[in-house]
Amino acid sequence: MATPVAILDDYQKVAERSADWRALPDGVEVTFFHDHLDDADRLVARLAPFEIIGIMRERTPFPAALLERLPNLRLLITTGPRNASIDLAAARRLGITVCGTRASGHATAELAMALILALARGLFAETASLRAGGWQIGLGRDVAGAVLGVVGLGRLGSQVAKLGKAFGMATIAWSQNLTEAAAAEIGVRRVDKPELFRSADFISVHLQLSPRTRGLIGAAELDLMKPDAYLINTSRGPIVDEAALGEALRAERIAGAALDVYEREPLPPDDPLRRVPHLLLTPHIGFVTREAYQVFYADMVEGIAAFLAGQPQRVITE
């Protein structure tokens, strides 16, 4: 009897060629979906037949209300070692195994540095001018000698701090649990939150989303920033108050910002953020690289095979 497998949100239509799906046992039938469904009823109708569903990070959330309507589901496997958009308690209650994969671990840090450089040199405005028939329209700034403020000095934040240092930036950091000793190990200076927002020329956010980080950067923090400073968020959208950021940019209280993550994803076509000046937007591509996808999907194939063999691996329990 066939085992139906669904792979969701394959936006770039690359999942099939990113791994050897032929390695799965005979009888496994894989269907790749390239679009994204927000409507709950349409999503249930699509997913109802599948026993195994592979998902890409938090693109499609799996709350209890959805899991309860998928009685055939036995395995939910996500790319990455964790996925905050899955109700793990509901999955356990319903007997659904949740597994993850490894992650490449550096792609998002590279994007954060790319956004810093793009903001510093006004790359997108200059490119748009050239394509429209114009020439130089602005004045860039050096990153060498600038102050990089890293909010969250974990794995990704530490990588960004090191990249900033390689470009000659003076790096400071803050998070709720950061100690001076931990900062010193990375070679950066720990400061308090107000000092970071007052002093940094570029502020890069690298925190996990939690109740205490939701809305952590709002109007009060943005008001502390220098008028020629920039904010970069490649972490999770709700950490930054989008309305407050839009207001600060429209009033030109800060020089600019770059967002790769949003409160709602995909970002709706009519979302006000799309019209905010001095705001560079990318569509949550921090982890979207060829090498990262090869790790994700190869591990997904391996994880599905292991589950079908009765030996699930990389099980996520919390």
pLDDT digit string (tens) for 14-25?
A: 999 999 999 999
Determine the pLDDT at residue 50. Answer: 98
8-state DSSP, 272: G
Average pLDDT over residues 239-267: 98
Half-sphere exposure of 288 (CA within 13 A, CB side): 18
Average pLDDT over residues 247-258: 98
Determine the pLDDT at residue 58. Answer: 87
Residue 145 and residue 19: Cα distance in Å, rounded? 43
Query: Which residues are within 8 A (CB) of 311 and not within 5 positions of it... i.e. 6 or more apart?
Result: none
Taking the CB of residue 192, how many other CB atoms lie within 10 A of it?
9
Buried b / exposed e over 114-127, threshold 16 CB at 10 Å, is bbbebbbbbbeebe
Percent of the chain past pLDDT 70, that is, above it, reads: 100
Q: How confident is the model at residue 318 (pLDDT cuts 50, 70, 90)?
A: confident
pLDDT digit string (tens) for 175-227?
A: 999 999 999 999 999 999 999 999 999 999 999 999 999 999 999 999 999 99
8-state DSSP, 89: H
Q: Which DSSP string do the residues of 34-72 spell out, in sequence order? A: -S----HHHHHHHHTT-SEEEE-TTSS-B-HHHHTT-TT
Determine the pLDDT at residue 212. Answer: 95
Burial of 83: CB neighbours in 10 Å, binned 0-12, 13-18, 19+: buried
Tokens of 215: 């809305």
- Which of these is catalytic: 57, 236, 242, 302? 236
- Which of these is catalytic: 284, 290, 291, 302? 284
Q: Do domains 3-104+290-308 and 107-281 have the same CATH topology?
A: yes
Known catalytic residue: 265? yes
Known catalytic residue: 284? yes
pLDDT digit string (tens) for 30-82?
A: 999 999 999 999 999 999 999 999 999 889 999 999 999 999 999 999 999 99
CATH architecture assignment, domain 3-104+290-308: 3-Layer(aba) Sandwich (3.40)
Average pLDDT over residues 303-312: 98
Answer whether residue 104 shows pLDDT above 90: no
- Which of these is catalytic: 110, 247, 263, 265? 265
Q: Domain segments of the chain: what residues?
A: 3-104+290-308, 107-281
Determine the pLDDT at residue 1. Answer: 74
Residue 203 and residue 201: Cα distance in Å, rounded? 7
Average pLDDT over residues 295-317: 97
Selection from 213, 221, 245, 235 nearest residue 287 by Cα: 235
pTM for the model stands at 0.94
Give backbone dihedrals phi and psi of 293, rounded to 5 degrees, phi first. -65, -35
8-state DSSP, 277: T
Residue 250 and residue 265: Cα distance in Å, rounded? 23
Buried b / exposed e over 140-154, threshold 16 CB at 10 Å, is ebebeebbbbbbbbb
Answer whether residue 290 shows pLDDT above 90: yes
CATH 3.40.50.720: does it fit domain 107-281? yes
Taking the CB of residue 255, how many other CB atoms lie within 10 A of it?
20
Q: What angle do CA 83, 304, 295 make, to 5 degrees?
A: 60
Known catalytic residue: 195? no
Answer whether residue 3 shows pLDDT above 90: yes
SS3 label, residue 297: helix
Average pLDDT over residues 149-171: 97
